[in-house]
Amino acid sequence: MEESIHFKLNNKPMNITVDGERMLLWVLRTDLGVTGPKFGCGQGLCGACTVLVDNEAVLSCQTPVREVNGKEVITIEGLARDGELHPLQKAFIKHDALQCGFCTPGMILKAYSLLRGSPRPTREEIIRGMDDNLCRCGSHVRIIEAIQTAAREMKGGHEL
């Protein structure tokens, strides 16, 4: 059923009329042209579609768009502020923490959410926190290093 849904997307107010049952991933990618969140499995098994809803990582392929009504959605496109990359983005570049790059938006946003809950995670906490995000190229080692570097960078209250 069509309904009116308001939310903030990458710092911009959005006001759309859609079937609220539709998944956030498709509304973002097709209705709104925000293609950073990727389709990987369609069943919430790979994490490629991860976005932030009120700063928490959610699987957008499993999230009806109705659920973000009144909330703030951030995709990979909205992470940098005024052209300044987020420490996680910088750390992913620094550590070469990507290959094909298809899982990267999901990885970074999942890591963002992880660091909010646990600003100085141990290696084990990173592994546990990231375990549901799949990478086929095998960049895992670098991703862990990048998250550790970003955590160090953000120490001292860098705004998340």
The contact set with another protein (CB under 8 A) reads 22-23, 26, 29-31, 33, 35-36, 38-43, 45-46, 48, 75-77, 79-80, 85, 89, 92-94, 96, 98-105, 108, 126-128, 130-144
Measured from the CB of residue 98, what is the shortest distance to another protein in angstroms?
A: 5
Strand blocks (E) in the chain: 2-9, 12-19, 50-53, 56-59, 72-74
Q: Residue 134: CB partners within 8 Å, gap ≥ 6?
A: 40, 45, 46, 47, 48, 103
Residue with smaller CB distance to another protein, 113 or 139: 139
Residue with smaller CB distance to another protein, 136 or 155: 136
Measured from the CB of residue 154, what is the shortest distance to another protein in angstroms?
A: 16
- CA atoms of 145 and 97, how far apart (whole Å): 8
78, two tokens: 């909205």
Measured from the CB of residue 90, what is the shortest distance to another protein in angstroms?
A: 8
Measured from the CB of residue 43, what is the shortest distance to another protein in angstroms?
A: 6
Residue 125, SS3 per DSSP: helix
Residue with smaller CB distance to another protein, 31 or 153: 31
71, two tokens: 């909330």
